[in-house]
Structure 1
Amino acid sequence: GHTAKLFSCPYHAWSYDTDGRLVAIPDDYGFEGLDRAASGLVALPVAEKYGLIFVTPAPGDDNNAIDIDAMLAGLGEDIDSYGIGAMAHQETRVVRRRMNWKLMSDTFWEAYHIKVLHAQNVAPLFVKNLAIFDAFGRNTRYIGVRKSIEKLRDLPQEKWDLIPHTTILMNLFPNTILVMQSDHAEIYRIFPEKHAGESVVAVSVLAPAPSPKWSRTMDLLLGVVDQDFTLGEGIQHNFESGAIRKVMYARYENALEHFHRSIREAIEES
Structure 2
Amino acid sequence: MRHILLLGGTTEASALATALATRGEHAVLSYAGRTDHPRAQAIPTRVGGFGGIEGLAEYLTREGVTHLVDATHPFAARISANAIAAAELAGVPLLALTRPAWEAGPGDRWIRVADTAEAVVALGTEAARVFLALGRQTIGDFGHATQHFYLLRFVDPAAPPALPHHHLVVDRGPFTLAGELALLREHRVQVVVAKNAGGSGARAKLDAARALGLPVVMIDRPAIPDRPQASSVAQVLDWLDHRVVRGV
TM-score of the superposed pair, with normalisation by structure 1: 0.25
Structure with the larger strand share: 1
Which structure is richer in relative contact order (CA contacts within 8 A, separation 6 or more)? Answer: 2
TM-score (norm 2): 0.26
Larger Rg: 1
